[in-house]
C-alpha cells in the first residue's frame, strides 16, 4: 500500500499534472459560479480535451480538478446571489446568503473555502485508506438500504420545522415527492404524469427548481428594493474569521467530513443528499442558542453543507475507481 501511495504522489506532483489540477480547478470554479450550470456540463465539454491528451493520469487529474472546482464555485453564487450554481450548494445559501446581506460576504466566502478545503482533504485521506474496504461495503447496499437512506434524508425536514412550522415542512416534503414522480420511471422506463409534454420526459430538474425558488425571488427583490440591504455598499471587505468562529466550525468540519465521505461512497447518493443531511444533523445537535441562529447567518450552518458536499465528492470516487460505478 505504501509503495502505491508513493507512486501516486510521484505522479500527482509532476509539473504537468500540477498544471492540470490548477487549470482544472480554475475552469471548474469559474463555471460553477454561473447559476444553473453544474459540473456535469463542463466535464462533458472537457472530455474531448482529456481524451486528446493521451495520458490517462493527466486526464483524470484534469477532470477531477474541474469537478472539485465546480462544486466549490457553486457556493460563491449561493452566498453572494442566493442562486445556487450546483445542486450540492443549495444548502449553503441557507446561512451564506444571510451573512452576505449582513455585510459579511467576505467572511462567508472564507468559511466556505476553509470548510471545502478541509472536507476535500480529509476525504482524500479517507479515500486512500479505506477505498478497498468500502468498495465491498457499497455493494451490500440494495433497495432496502437505499430506502432507509432516503427516509433519513427526508427526516432532514425536522431541521427546517424547528421554528414551529411543521405543517408547512410536511406539505413541502409531500410536494417534492409528488414532483419527483414526474418523468420516466427508473425501473420500467415508461413516462409518468408527463401529460404528453416531451420536456417532462426527464422530470423536473433539481437545479432548475432551486433557481426558481432562490434566484428568481432574489432578482425580483433587487428590482423592487435595490437598496434594502444591511451591508453598507455591497463590497467584499473583511475576509478573516475570529478565533471563536474557527473554534465553532472545527468540530462541524470534523463530523461532516466523515459523514459526507461515507454518504458519497454510496452509488447514487452524492453531494446533494450529503449537504442537506449535514445541515440537518448540525442544526439538530447544536445548542439551543446556536439552533436559533441557523438560517440567519450561522457560520456553523454554512460550514456543515460545504464540508459535507466536498467530502461526498471525494467519497464518490470510491465506487468510481474500484467498481466503475459513478
Average pLDDT over residues 251-268: 87
Average pLDDT over residues 48-72: 86
| 305 vs 310: CA distance, rounded Å | 8
Contacts of 233 (CB under 8 A, 6+ apart): none
Give residue 146's Cα distance to chain centre. 20
C-alpha cell at 307: 464540508
Average pLDDT over residues 158-178: 72
Average pLDDT over residues 247-265: 91
Tally of domains within the chain = 1
- Residue 250 reports pLDDT greater than 90: yes
pLDDT at residue 117, rounded to an integer: 92
- Residue 199 reports pLDDT greater than 50: yes
Contacts of 58 (CB under 8 A, 6+ apart): 16, 17, 20
C-alpha cell at 40: 456535469
- Residue 205 reports pLDDT greater than 60: yes
Bridge partners (DSSP) of residue 183 are 192
User: What's the sign of the alpha-carbon dihedral 178, 83, 108, 38?
Assistant: positive
Q: Provide the residue range defining the domain that includes 284.
A: 2-323
Among residues 87, 18, 43, which one has the least CA distance to residue 276?
87
User: What's the sign of the alpha-carbon dihedral 177, 180, 181, 182?
Assistant: positive
| 79 vs 58: CA distance, rounded Å | 32
Average pLDDT over residues 1-21: 82
Stretch (H or E) spanning 322:
helix 317-323
pLDDT at residue 186, rounded to an integer: 67
pLDDT at residue 307, rounded to an integer: 93
Residue 62, SS3 per DSSP: helix
- Residue 196 reports pLDDT greater than 50: yes
| 200 vs 51: CA distance, rounded Å | 33
Residue with the larger pLDDT of the pair 32 and 119: 119
- Residue 253 reports pLDDT greater than 80: yes
Bridge partners (DSSP) of residue 192 are 183
Q: pLDDT category, 231, cuts 50, 70, 90?
A: very low
Average per-residue pLDDT for the chain: 81
Amino acid at each position: 500500500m505504501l509503495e502505491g501511495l508513493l507512486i501516486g504522489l510521484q505522479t500527482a506532483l509532476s509539473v504537468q499534472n500540477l498544471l492540470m489540477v490548477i487549470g482544472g480547478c480554475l475552469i471548474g470554479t469559474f463555471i460553477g459560479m454561473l447559476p444553473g450550470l453544474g459540473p456535469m456540463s463542463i466535464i462533458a465539454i472537457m472530455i474531448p480535451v482529456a481524451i486528446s491528451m493521451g495520458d490517462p493520469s493527466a486526464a483524470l487529474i484534469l477532470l477531477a480538478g474541474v469537478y472539485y472546482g465546480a462544486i466549490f464555485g457553486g457556493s460563491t453564487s449561493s452566498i453572494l446571489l442566493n442562486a445556487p450554481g450546483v445542486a450540492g450548494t443549495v444548502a449553503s445559501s441557507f446561512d451564506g446568503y444571510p451573512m452576505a446581506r449582513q455585510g459579511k460576504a467576505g467572511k462567508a466566502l472564507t468559511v466556505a473555502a476553509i470548510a471545502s478545503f478541509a472536507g476535500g482533504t480529509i476525504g482524500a485521506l479517507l479515500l486512500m485508506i479505506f477505498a478497498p474496504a468500502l468498495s465491498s461495503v457499497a455493494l451490500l447496499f440494495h433497495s432496502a438500504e437505499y430506502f432507509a437512506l432516503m427516509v433519513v434524508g427526508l427526516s432532514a425536514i425536522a431541521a427546517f420545522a424547528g421554528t414551529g412550522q411543521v405543517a408547512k415542512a410536511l406539505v413541502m416534503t409531500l410536494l417534492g415527492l409528488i414532483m419527483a414522480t414526474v418523468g420516466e420511471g427508473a425501473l420500467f422506463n415508461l413516462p409518468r404524469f408527463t401529460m404528453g409534454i416531451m420536456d417532462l420526459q426527464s422530470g423536473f430538474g433539481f437545479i432548475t427548481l432551486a433557481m426558481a425558488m432562490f434566484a428568481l425571488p432574489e432578482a425580483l427583490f433587487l428590482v423592487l428594493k435595490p437598496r434594502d440591504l444591511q451591508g453598507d455598499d455591497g463590497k467584499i471587505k473583511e475576509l478573516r474569521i475570529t478565533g471563536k468562529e474557527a473554534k465553532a466550525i472545527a468540530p462541524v468540519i470534523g463530523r461532516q467530513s466523515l459523514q459526507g465521505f461515507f454518504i458519497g461512497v454510496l452509488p447514487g447518493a452524492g453531494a446533494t443528499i450529503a449537504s442537506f443531511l449535514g445541515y440537518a444533523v448540525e442544526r439538530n445537535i447544536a445548542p439551543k442558542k446556536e439552533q436559533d441562529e441557523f438560517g440567519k447567518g450561522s457560520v456553523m450552518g454554512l460550514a456543515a453543507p460545504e464540508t459535507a458536499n466536498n467530502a461526498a465528492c471525494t467519497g464518490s470516487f470510491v465506487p468510481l475507481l474500484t467498481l466503475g460505478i459513478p
